[in-house]
Structure 1
């Protein structure tokens, strides 16, 4: 049993994450000289939301909109989910060769989730979670 009793847990997590853009450039100080090459990296911090649903029937995580393609709804199945009095941990698959991991501190509500691998690098999402009630009726 993941969560005490049969309690289902829905969380909305406001997170930040850094993305680095890389540009390669070549330049020459004097005409006819061999060009020099350089790399410019710019890191920007982004804000987003993660949704996490934990349930004995099945658990899942939804990454920020930037990571959702037109061909899916963004939800990823959580596997290897463990819950203690103080934490909830799980793993998920993001792409065929890219895995993910999620850790939530149940006392503070802090979340750390990451996607990536050693070839493509990692993106780490950090933030805070609160209970979330999904709307059952349309608002208008």
Structure 2
């Protein structure tokens, strides 16, 4: 009887395992996206630094007021792009935190289902052992009565 109860948990456990696996897969995809976005940010920062160094090199020779204005305007654009990229990174990190929280919840639920299944199986085994012992005791008592008469 108890083994049947444990067997009835199998579909629920399988659904929980699938959900945990999906959550892990989603977290992996988000982590890859985060890595990619951080790499883009690093590339923008590196480009900004190289652009500044090139301008300094040109400025040591000779630059016009227009070139200085263009440089400053372009630096503002790069700063804006870096800021937008950092905001995007923040959003991906928040998504990753939420995904991790969901994964933990799903994993805890899976573990509780598995513990329940193990407990039901242990109860079933104990019950079967008790029934077997009772049966063996009855056979032993019956044989004792047969030998006594």
TM-score above 0.5: no
More contact order relative to length (CA 8 Å, sep ≥ 6): 2
Q: Taking structure 1 as the reference length, what is the TM-score of the superposition?
A: 0.20
Which has more strand, going by share of residues?
Answer: 1
Which has more helix, going by share of residues?
Answer: 2
Q: Taking structure 2 as the reference length, what is the TM-score of the superposition?
A: 0.19
